[in-house]
Structure 1
Amino acid sequence: MGEPQTATGARTHEVLGLFGFLLVATAQVSNMILARGVAGSVPPFSIAFFRWSIVALGLLPVVVMARREKPAALRGQWPGIALAGFLGMFICGGPVYVAGITTSAINLALIMALSPIVVLLFSFATGRESIARRQIIGMAVALAGALLIITKGQASVGTGLSTGDLLALLAMLGWAGYTLMQNRVGQGVSFLARIGLFAAAGALFSLPFAVHEIWQTPSAAFTGRAALVYLFAGLVPGLFAYGAYAWLGGRFGAVSTSLSLYLGPIVSAVLSILFLGEAPTIIHLIGGALSLGGMYLCLRSKPGEAR
């Protein structure tokens, strides 16, 4: 009797884990759906400022507790915390909402999903990690898919490019830099405490731009719709996404990262159809298959494989 119950418990654990990763991926890409859905109607840096302010305030108790338990843990860490907040919260904040004006949510999700490739390339270039032959092939395939998506299959250089795609590329590079830094600064405190600090830094960097937007178009920044947008951005792709990710990571380990990565673009395509009426094109399907397939080769390459 014990063995079937154990097997059933393991399957239940796996199903609940997959459902949890699906929820996290949905929360994460909902920010891109939001960027596209409110494009141009709510000031972008105002969304970013209020989003990260909500996250910072929501995680303030965690930060305070961490500071009380380890008062010296963050000594000398503030420049690194500020840089991580700049890359991960500021560069991946307002510019993403601006990008939504001229590019689709599917494009945003697929471009942002390339950040692990950039992290791997940087790690290789700095000697932190070796790259196997399969990973090199995977990078080439993934980058080919990204190029197809960004150029929209146009052969002429620059023909298919949009400002939104370029801003999404900038945000992706910022997220890659943030990924490299997030576990190297503030190591003495918990993941959620670090997120709270990074969010506070991102809100401060976004504040001058938000003030400018509010000064220029107060009627757009202070409406009932705008308030709902700020609240949604802070709670769903903010507090819920980071909090659930931290919890799932603790329960299921590093596999959560790869599952969220692969589910994100797929969930984005489904949500784009349901809420934006933007069905993926053949370019998205081919480019997405190449990008995700290439990332699979990169991230699943066996250690010690011939290079």
Structure 2
Amino acid sequence: MGKGTSDSGGVAAAGSASSAGAWLGAIALVGFILVATAQASNQILARGLAGSVPPFALAFFRWSIVAVGLAPIALAEIRDGRLALAKNIWPILAAGFMGMFLCGGPVYAAGVSTTAIHIALIMALSPITVLLISAVRGMEHVGPLQWLGTALALAGALLIISGGHPQTLIELETAAGDGLVVIAMLSWSGYTLLQSRAAPRASLLARISLFAAAGALFSLPLAAWEMWTMPAQIFSVRALAAYVFAGIVPGLLAYAGFAWLGAKFGSVRTSLVLYLGPVASALLSFAILGEPPKPIHFAGGLLILGGVWASLRR
């Protein structure tokens, strides 16, 4: 009798654990899709506005909304002593310059001459760049599989940027937008390496608030010039809607969602969002902008994502 009761209890516990695991898996899948979509929406915004809202004003207001929205978290951790501004001011400014300023206005400017799919696929090269920088600095060993992955991803990027015609790589008119995205991708890679070293005792969201404030500060001079020369484009209903959307969806929601996924599932699993980004961007680009992916995007995307996958293997 006791043994039977024990067995049935064990079965019930196993069933409960299985059910909880299934729910956790479903939550993870939904979370990854939502965060990837929120991140990809910034690329759709860059392409959809296509210069109708000046880029650095858009970046300034976006980062200002993020900084203000997360300010209560940052202020609480400053009061608690977890976030020491005096000791971390230079790393914070550097992270804001690379991760917010160079990955803000230039990406919006790039949307005038390149597609959202191009932006997403080029930005997907960031993990490989981080790996190579880490290898050069002796922080990471790069083996044959990683070098192969790097070569594949680079080939995919060049294929997409050139449109299958290598001679266009030297034509600045053709590759101007893609060149801006390459700069943003390299800057994001530097930010990735630096952000965890700036105020390491503070939470991710508290640090994001300060990085965003720094990004808004760096964007301000160019944004002020745009406000002076193009006031009608900046102070309009369309521009206001863009500022609010950029600050909330690819700003607060994307960063908060990424932080939640990292805390719930770990940084390694959370990095899978990277693989969903280009897919989300391609789908949104087709649905919203009417820009379907071309065969060259599939070929280049497979090379890039396959290269990223190989580069992240041990």
1:257 is displaced (CA, Å) by: 3.4
Deviations 1:191-237 (A, max 9, x none): 11100000000000000110000100100000011000000000000
Alpha-carbon separation, structure 2, partners of 1:168 and 1:138: 21
Alpha-carbon separation, structure 2, partners of 1:89 and 1:201: 8
- Distance 1:273-1:72 versus aligned 2 partners, 3 A rule: closer
Letter in 1 for 2:76: M
What is the TM-score when the length of structure 1 is the normalising length? 0.96
What is the TM-score when the length of structure 2 is the normalising length? 0.94
Letter in 2 for 1:127: G
Alpha-carbon separation, structure 1, partners of 2:240 and 2:307: 40
Where does the alignment leave 5 or more consecutive residues of structure 1 unmatched? 303-307
Deviations 1:57-82 (A, max 9, x none): 00110111001111673332101100
1:259 is displaced (CA, Å) by: 1.5
CA contact (8 A) 1:151 1:159 kept: no
Alpha-carbon separation, structure 2, partners of 1:118 and 1:218: 38
The correspondence for 1:105, drawn from 94, 116, 122, is 116
Letter in 1 for 2:208: I
The correspondence for 1:158, drawn from 131, 156, 170, is 170
Task: Tell me what 2:6 maps to.
Answer: none
The correspondence for 2:257, drawn from 244, 249, 255, is 244
Alpha-carbon separation, structure 2, partners of 1:275 and 1:210: 27
The correspondence for 1:262, drawn from 275, 290, 298, is 275
Alpha-carbon separation, structure 2, partners of 1:255 and 1:272: 28
1:188-203 matched pairs, under 5 angstroms: 188-203=201-216
1:5 is displaced (CA, Å) by: 2.2
Task: Tell me what 1:131 maps to.
Answer: 142
Task: Tell me what 1:305 maps to.
Answer: none
Letter in 2 for 1:217: M
1:1-307 matched pairs, under 5 angstroms: 1-70=12-81, 73-156=84-167, 157-159=169-171, 161-299=174-312, 301-302=313-314
Alpha-carbon separation, structure 1, partners of 2:209 and 2:275: 26
Alpha-carbon separation, structure 2, partners of 1:63 and 1:76: 15
CA contact (8 A) 1:47 1:94 kept: yes
- Distance 1:264-1:71 versus aligned 2 partners, 3 A rule: closer
CA contact (8 A) 2:74 2:83 kept: no
CA contact (8 A) 2:44 2:285 kept: yes
Match of 1:202, SS state, is helix
Alpha-carbon separation, structure 1, partners of 2:235 and 2:171: 38
Deviations 1:168-190 (A, max 9, x none): 00000110010010001111211
Letter in 2 for 1:188: R
CA contact (8 A) 2:199 2:207 kept: yes
Letter in 2 for 1:277: G
Alpha-carbon separation, structure 1, partners of 2:47 and 2:229: 22
% same residue: 54
Alpha-carbon separation, structure 1, partners of 2:175 and 2:235: 29
Deviations 1:84-132 (A, max 9, x none): 0000000000000000000000000000111111100000011111012
- Distance 1:274-1:72 versus aligned 2 partners, 3 A rule: closer
CA contact (8 A) 2:95 2:194 kept: yes
Letter in 1 for 2:209: G
Letter in 2 for 1:191: L
| Higher-helix-fraction structure | 2
RMSD value, Cα: 1.2
Where does the alignment leave 5 or more consecutive residues of structure 2 unmatched? 1-11
Letter in 2 for 1:50: F
Alpha-carbon separation, structure 1, partners of 2:252 and 2:269: 17
Deviations 1:228-276 (A, max 9, x none): 0000000000001001111111011113432110000000000000000
Q: Higher Cα Rg: structure 1 or 2?
A: 2
